[in-house]
Structure 1
């Protein structure tokens, strides 16, 4: 049986125009390339799965395509193929998390002084660059500061603030944002059309939202769902089952139960959420998100469509927010912090959430709301 190509690889962008959700980065590199003002060192910072490595490869291919330099790599020449496969001798992709020592950097420093063999420009793509040790980071600074004319550095990181200030001052930094779920949703629809997959729009929306701004995770989620449903149509319930997603209505029910001072119902709901396989940390994040949405509904009622809520979501959040005082929502957010802190110390999730419910109910009674 042949191994299927993962969607995250199959649909990885190979042109800047195909990069999703990063218009500033795309425009910056497009203009720099057109005007021949490419810098010798860049920091690409942002969440995982937002396109840092893909953009790094695209830039390297733009400069080294055999039919270029060109804004649109041909993806057919030997240079392009090797670059996009991560196998080019002249475009090195190095994981700094596992090659973080001083000896690794010294070896790399020697290597960059050898001219490229097949490419015009040698690229050093250093992933998880913030992982470099102290001495190695100092050595990397000297290497990045004055590289040979034919070398360009790209430092990819999820935590740019951990990079040495002296390294950041030598590089141009571009921030990769989490991709809006609506853009991911459109991307998933295009992929489903290419793969001739039947789907329900609401099911794809769940897949898009559960990716938390990561295009790569959305593609992994889609493939996970396909493994679960087989040749059947992609529907809401199978998606929730495959991804372990909790029905958002449960969080509405949970807040309503707290507001009614119905502790037993709170226990039942949270127990059902845990039974569905949802981890306590994920429940805390979901509750934070729900309370944040209630605050948005409370303060920005007329602008909710700008926050990409569906019509049904707007009705539900506005209806629930109208019943609850804004100060009380903030109080619940504050109490939820104790749950989050307790989880970091491995305290029992059931105890933490049950305490949270009681404290919220007591606070509600004291407020007289």
Structure 2
């Protein structure tokens, strides 16, 4: 995306130059004007930078989705212990897609017997219980990566993708700027981008949009891909909590934190393990909420560590909680995987976009 940002800056500078050329008086600028003015004023120049931008925005998006599927497929051996424990949807899709890939390879010319043998061996290993998924098969798709295709590809991983409009807080404002009145959803921007990319690739005529609109399209796709990355990370983290987390205690009463006006303080009568401020944890009731343990008190006195048998404890968890919720933690053996997923849930959420 940095390369694309640099390209937009160059094009923007040339467009500013075109607008300034008639008012230029220096001999040097006049010479540039005579050379550049016919080029920058022509439709050919605008079509060239438009075509380049459309192809680059789309190819960056497609590469991101393929990489996301590849990395997520690879992550399955850390998220699950055996092939049998994988979601049924994933196992079925993996088998069908791998068999299709093996068939295509067998019909290829020239045939690479080493690669073919290795991929058959990995498939056999899966039936022996080892998670040795075929990343190439899982990530391949012959259609353009429109929103519907993205949804279909991610469903192979047992991930149900909702429209980003259902997560306004996570995705952010849309439409914005010059896109107001042009697009209703981020998904419609992606679908239109795929259509424009096809038009460019086949030399078809399509409406050329200006540089500001191209920037906004690029920003939307960038935001969409990062939102998708965060959403998948949250989903996998929630699944990990449901499968592997250990219950530390049950919240039998909740109070409002007067400083934040959030009902985030819960009473835990007893604990199954020690608890310290700053620890990561999860409040579970109907859904999984990520939280960080704040202040812990016993009899209105702040303590440095809560230990079994020393309660009841008042624990500020920093998120809205309800009575009857479970407070859970991930076992130490999975802490590295937990940190990876936690960091992914924050990726690009509070940084300025490069375009």
The TM-score range, normalised by the shorter chain, is under 0.3
Bigger proportion of residues as helix: 1
- When Rg is computed on C-alpha atoms for both structures, the one with the higher figure is 2
TM-score w.r.t. structure 1 length?
A: 0.23
Q: Give the TM-score normalised by structure 2.
A: 0.24
* Higher-strand-fraction structure: 2
